[in-house]
Structure 1
């Protein structure tokens, strides 16, 4: 297990360390629930990247039943403190806090990693300003343009109620990274004509992370479920982009159908669990499923967000 004494010392090393260690664990026995080899994939209408991953639908851990965005951490349920030490890729130490990178034992794709900031504090799955600053700093530091960082809130297909982000590596540009945005107010932009409308904050220096956090906290306070993508691949603009989808809530345990609508799917990256569906699904069917999660009062929400800036 690699340990580093402060995030600021990691920038030139962390992707190399994570990928090398991930490959070592993946090649060994008994850690991953299934192995990721070559994944069948295709594009639909130059929008949706479709990937076939039937093992994720069949072999992953049973998700926790989630009923509220304010559901507290429950030590009796699965949490990342219970993960095997064999799953740890890298630990960053900052004073008494440890920020831990784990393999996702049921990966969407190669190098699917879980980042658990302040892991020992056992925080629920709600974005904090400190944790958001950490992942934005990570994105600024990254030399790998394939890296994206995702977050699923409670009631937005989060599977574990213990604060964590998803690190995902994909060489293709995603649909949401190609769209043009409209200015809402201050640092906030929005995209109405997308299957699930979204907000975006462009962060050019770390101190601007607060702009995205204010919006996210507003959603949490209003008990609005949300998914978040952090990327530096949006169009030709510089900086880190925090894309936020407010959406209708899910309740209970995650149910695996042909695909679930979480941060990857909203971004245009669709892991499919069924081979027949992979062969026959259309872009229109994908958009119909995505639109089911669109908030009915998005423009009312826009007015509330304008009042924040």
Structure 2
């Protein structure tokens, strides 16, 4: 195990491991790549997913493309019993406006590691709880290294891809940035970069990178992201968006165009690579400072539209496919929620659902799914709108609060009779007296009081 002896135990502190030890800590190959290997548009990709030959004959350097190496190493891990179960999933598509897909994965609900209990978005790393320094060597699939633009200035940093012992789909793996630094589950610029780089290197429109914050369905407080393939496209890629106020290349989508609200960024040109990563990090950094749980979903999508029909599918496959990031701010989930029907995390908020019981899998409807997401994840409209105002200020380098309308601006454009009528309507409103049941309900927390069960 990576943390099984005296020397590796030091990796759970702020003291890093000797470089020569880390290099030999695992037999996993290195995946070395160049920024010229990035594919911005899958529709116009050149054949870049070919064996690498950069003149580097050092031991352990991969000569295989990312997609192939990821699959080979994931399949090889089966021989060492690295997984808690064998994938035996069923799928169905739900009727409705959102084109949701649902997977039945009973084993994941029963056999995955019990999620930990968290109280805040930013909790310090705890070496006494499960973390990825405790991985077995055979669970490490590869190390990541960018040849022409180093991922880190620290030569001791090791960025790895490891198996997910309780997978959702084939090749479901964990991306662990700077594993030796033992960072908590809070996105860093490096983590965002790794997510973007892998999306640009994997030449498959079914490949996704996911992130769940603490209080947003993350189960381990050690910085990691997920990468996996999903057999169905998320209908998010077909939806019309709206611009984030006056910010260039920043968008939002919200109900009823999608089942929950999200900030959206898209990489359409290699020259915008740095700005794309910067915008994503600024967004999640702001949500973290607000102690607002969030989920990220990276996918390939057609060019974002702000005009035309609410839904428009690229049936002929002629439009570009760009790396697109959807950031879902969501209600904070205090404590560990055991698997019931399904848990709304990054993949689920994007419309790719995993059911843990055959009963829910067979009986679930789009209406039922939307109701669960509204109760357990969706933010109130006014809360999301305030986040939009603040994020627009941050991305535009304006003082916070600049975009928020003043109280007086809410009445601008109304005539005096309309203002009087509005005032009278508020004065005539009399709230009903609370019943005994109302008073009792207010003493309970929302998750305990509001539950949905499919009969």
Give the SS at the match of 1:102.
strand
* Offset of residue 5 of structure 1: 6.5
Q: Which runs of 5+ in 1 are unaligned?
A: none
| Greater Cα radius of gyration, structure 1 or 2 | 2
Q: 1:188: Cα distance to partner?
A: 1.4
C-alpha distance in 2, partners of 1:101/1:254?
Answer: 27
Tell me how far apart the structure 2 counterparts of residues 120 and 231 of structure 1 sit (CA, whole Å). Answer: 28
The TM-score, its normalising length taken from structure 1, stands at 0.94
2:172 counterpart of 1:112: yes
Comparing both chains, which one has the higher relative contact order based on Cα–Cα distances under 8 Å and sequence gaps of 6 or more?
1
2:42 match: none
Pairing 1:157–2:217 present: yes
2:243 and 2:100 map into 1 onto residues whose CA distance is: 25
1:39-118 matches, cutoff 5 A: 39-45=89-95, 47-93=99-145, 95-118=155-178
2:286 alignment partner, one of 209, 218, 225:
218
Query: Residues 234 and 59 (structure 1 numbering): CA distance in 2 closer, same or farther, change over 3 Å?
Result: farther
CA contact (8 A) 1:79 1:160 kept: yes
Contact 2:29 2:141 in 1 (8 A): no
Q: For 1:6-21, what aligned pairs fall within 5 Å after superposition?
A: 6-8=32-34, 12=49, 13-21=65-73
User: Between Structure 1 and Structure 2, which shows a larger proportion of strand residues?
Assistant: 1
Q: Secondary structure at the match of 2:34?
A: helix
Q: Aligned residue for 1:192?
A: 254
Equivalent-residue separation in structure 1 for 2:295 and 2:157 (angstroms): 26
Q: Aligned residue for 1:36?
A: 87
Q: Cα distance, 1:119 vs. partner?
A: 0.8
Preserved CA contact (<8 Å) 1:125 1:161 = yes
Which runs of no fewer than 5 residues in structure 2 stay unpaired? Answer: 1-26, 39-48, 50-64, 304-318, 397-455
RMSD: 1.7
Distance 2:140 2:301 in 1: 28
Deviation at 1:74, TM superposition (A): 0.6
Alignment partner, residue 332 of structure 2 = 249
Displacement of 1:15: 1.5
Instruction: Specify the alignment match of 1:2 in structure 2.
Output: 28
Q: Does 1:239 align with 2:322?
A: yes
What secondary structure sits across from 1:2 in the alignment? coil
Q: Is the 8 A contact 1:258 1:277 kept in 2?
A: yes
Whether contact under 8 Å (1:272, 1:278) holds in the other structure is yes
Name whichever of 260-269 and 209-218 sits farther off.
209-218
Aligned residue pairs, count? 307
Structure 1, residues 176-211: CA drift from partner, whole Å, max 9, x if none? 222211111222100122222111011233212101
CA distance in 2, matches of 1:232, 1:225: 24
Number of the residue aligned with 1:139: 199
Does residue 1:279 correspond to 2:279, yes or no? no
Query: Which stretch shows the higher mean deviation, 280-289 or 290-299?
Result: 290-299
Q: Cα 1:300–1:237, aligned 2, differ >3 Å: closer, same or farther?
A: farther
Residues 122 and 83 of structure 1, relative CA distance in 2, 3 Å threshold: same
Query: For each residue in 1:152-184, what CA deviation from the matched residue of structure 2 results, as whole angstroms up to 9, or x when unmatched?
Result: 011100000111110010232112222211111
Query: Which stretch has the larger CA shift, 104-113 or 230-239?
Result: 230-239
Note if contact 2:32-2:144 (Cα within 8 Å) is conserved in structure 1.
yes
- Residue by residue over 1:117-144, the C-alpha shift from the partner in whole angstroms, topping out at 9 and shown as x without a partner, is 1111111111111210121011112212
